[in-house]
Amino acid sequence: MRAYTPKNDVQKKSYYTDRYWVAPQVAKSKVEDDAVFAADLKAIEDAKFKVLDSYIQVEQMVVYINPEDNVGVLEVLKNECGYTQLSELSAIDWIADRGGFEVFYQMLSMSKRKRLRVKCFIKEDQAIESVEKLFRSADWAEREMFDMFGIKVNNHPFLKRILMPDDWEGHPLRKTYPLQGDEFAAWYEVDKIFGKEARDIIGPEIRDTARVDRYDTERFARLGHEIPKGSEFDPDKEKTPLAYQEDEGVFLIEGFDEDKSQIVSDRKR
Amino acid sequence: MQHKNRLRPFFENITFDRDDNELVLNFGPQHPSSHGQLRLMLHLQQEQIVKAHPDVGYLHRGMEKMAENMIYNEFMPTTDRMDYIASSSNNYGFALAVEKLIGLEVPRRAKVIRMMILEINRLMSHLFWLATTALDIGAMTVFLYAFREREYLMDIIEGYCGARLTHAAIRIGGVPLDIQDTFIHDLKVFLNKLPQNMKDYEDLLDTNRIWLMRMEDVGVISTDMALSWCCTGPMLRASGVEWDIRKEEPYELYDEVEFKVPVSDKGDNYARYKLYMAEMRESAKILYQTIDMYAETVKNNQTELMAHAPQYISAPKLNIMTQNYSLMQHFVLVTQGMRPPVGEVYVATESPKGELGYFINSQGGPYPYRLKLRAPSFWHTGILTDLLPGHYIPDVVSIIGTTNIVFGEVDR
């Protein structure tokens, strides 16, 4: 039976997975094992924020909180725990599995030499509060998150696309977005530069750069069988003699004469 | 008194609906001093900038999306195209992140070679920075000098991995090759000459009136601003924060080598220039030490270059060619790819531009479920929003120069 492929995750899948394969886990340890992280976690809990889950993985603490607490928790971490820098902020698409996104805030404390990650889960159409008031670095990071995932950020000073064009449709890092781009992407430049009426003349953008159409006389010349650019070509009807273009021949090179040439059928000759 | 509708200029697409003197100037995206495709919308009062909007994305290639659809080793050459001035540092950051994810220990000789390559890349990047920034400000000689020296380093790297810009010289689990016979000799020749070269640059620039006028007290980033915008690398150290990931969270063998972290509290362009120069000297110091460390591994006969982890890393070529099981393992790893355990990791390394971080979320498959590239230049471009207002148009060029942004990294 063919394996079921979810429609809301169109990314590349492994072509073969052993049916008894069980993926191992990266080791997680308890927060209590590290005194510094334990104190940070206590500071968050003391400020009456609910911590849904917390653990240490690869030397960094991960804290799951409710999405409406994000500004409050980051404020506590910044002002009380010394996490003065927000190094990174982005999201993970879990629409196919859980119907939403996981937003993560990667923080750094220079005084403690510790890094931690605050995570919260939001539904697909749920907005999240901006942390730009606390960290200016969130300005661009939130714009990128909006651009790539379509997550709306409330009270952001300038929520606009940052990497994609302003009039782009769709959010490229979602798992539902096809790797080759969608219908809109294929026609974007044609529509924008020449207008929709030019679609028939130009054709969609070819995103597979390795694709070579032998009979495409627009982009490729068939070596030795040159015909005018853009002309229709049917290999059955039309005979294009194999010949050099130069009529007078090339200096020091003997001209090729098809009649005198010999086709070798026996390769071991 | 002008006649109406007679001498009034007519421009397409421009409406004159402003009463004040504010002029909106479009800087870039094609501009020799924008170091790539940076577009700045500058609101001007006379020559002074009152508002700046950096516009990026002209080099967006969707690397994070590509990473989600590639096996881990396949993505390695793509990381070259981020900071293409020092591409091995990108390779290294990715390799280290995956190694942390699967918990690999890299052999000592590989570590030494990696450090050599990383520091050569840092020198290459800083020389390139010096050359282009000096050229933007008008110092053609320094440009030629620094490019000449960078060429020597590129030759050394070319001898090692065959490429000059996009190296892909580091693998997950180690390095693919031992250094070539001429590597140490060439490197020593370069390093011995470097102090004189540095003196040449500084003689040309340090007391140069034009250089000082364009650099001193221009583009001052306060400590708070640098922290809030999450500046890293020389941008942060120039603003008075002593933070170098090589020192604070040492990776590879950086805890075994001696080097200083230069810091300045001025925060202006000149401070950043001085830091880049000082860092080049420190890199040279590290390189001298790695040469000794390499000789030590030769003496102790530590010849392994790749970690031994058959589940994730292919066996050495000799084993693949002679042993059946190694060949099978290699075949599976190349066609299907390694499958790291389920988990998340964020690993930051000190690239020449600042903190280069890789966040990887693995769900146990051969493709990462999510990979976030934390490139320092992204925030160093963002800070222009707050940094440029108050400055004058000529300062824009020198400020962009000293932020040392590379657009492969900003747009990814």
In this predicted model, what pLDDT tens digit does every residue of A129-155 receive, in sequence order? 999 999 999 999 999 999 999 999 999
Q: Which residues contact B293 (CB under 8 A, 6 or more apart)?
A: B112, B115, B253, B256, B257
Q: How confident is the model at residue B1 (pLDDT cuts 50, 70, 90)?
A: very low
pLDDT of residue A153: 93
Please name the residues between 281 and 310 in chain B that touch chain A, using a CB distance below 8 Å.
Answer: none
Report CB contact under 8 Å: A87, B374: yes
- The ipTM (two decimal places) reads 0.85
Instruction: Please give the Cα distance from A37 to A31 (Å, whole number).
Output: 6
A interface mutation test: which of B228, B347, B350 has the most A CBs within 10 A? B228
Query: How is domain A28-154 classified at the CATH fold level?
Result: Beta Polymerase; domain 2 (3.30.460)
Report which residue type is found at B231.
C
* Distance in Å, alpha carbon of B381 to nearest chain A alpha carbon: 10
pLDDT digits (tens, 9 = 90+) for A250-261: 677 676 677 777
pLDDT of residue B322: 92
Residues of B in contact with A164 (CB under 8 A): 57, 60
Report the pLDDT averaged over residues B237-266.
90
Report CB contact under 8 Å: A12, B367: yes
Phi and psi torsions of A10, nearest 5°: -100, 20
pLDDT digits (tens, 9 = 90+) for B71-125: 999 999 999 999 899 999 999 999 999 999 998 999 999 999 999 999 999 999 9
Q: How confident is the model at residue A225 (pLDDT cuts 50, 70, 90)?
A: low
Residues of B in contact with A137 (CB under 8 A): 228-230, 379, 382
- B225 vs A: CB within 8 A: yes
Per CATH, the number for B73-303+390-411 is: 1.10.645.10
What percentage of chain A has pLDDT greater than the value 90? 33
Count Cβ–Cβ pairs < 8 Å, chain A vs chain B: 124
Report CB contact under 8 Å: A85, B227: yes
Q: Which of A15, A88, A92 lies nearest to residue B361, judging by beta carbons?
A: A92
Residues of A in contact with B385 (CB under 8 A): 139
Instruction: Please give the Cα distance from B33 to B29 (Å, whole number).
Output: 10
Q: Which of A25, A137, A179 lies nearest to residue B228, judging by beta carbons?
A: A137
Report CB contact under 8 Å: A62, B343: no
**Quick one: how far is CA A67 from the chain centroid?**
24
Instruction: Please give the Cα distance from B307 to B320 (Å, whole number).
Output: 15
* Distance in Å, alpha carbon of A11 to nearest chain B alpha carbon: 7
Q: Which of B62, B228, B372 lies nearest to residue A88, judging by beta carbons?
A: B372
Report CB contact under 8 Å: A58, B343: yes
pLDDT of residue A214: 67
pLDDT digits (tens, 9 = 90+) for B33-56: 777 788 888 888 888 899 999 999
Report the pLDDT averaged over residues A10-17.
82
Q: Indicate whether A245 pLDDT > 60.
A: no
* Distance in Å, alpha carbon of A97 to nearest chain B alpha carbon: 12
Kindly report the average pLDDT of chain A as a whole number.
84
pLDDT of residue A11: 82
What percentage of chain A has pLDDT greater than the value 70? 84
pLDDT of residue A238: 65
Residue B402 near residue B231, CB atoms below 8 Å: no
**Complete DSSP assignment for B89-152:** HHHHHHHHHHHHHHT----HHHHHHHHHHHHHHHHHHHHHHHHHHHHHHT-HHHHHHHHHHHHH
Kindly list the domain boundaries of chain A, sorted by start residue.
28-154
Report the pLDDT averaged over residues B335-353.
92
* Distance in Å, alpha carbon of A10 to nearest chain B alpha carbon: 10
Going by the DSSP 8-state scheme, the letter that residue A67 receives in this structure is: G
Residues of B in contact with A23 (CB under 8 A): 339, 341-342, 363-365
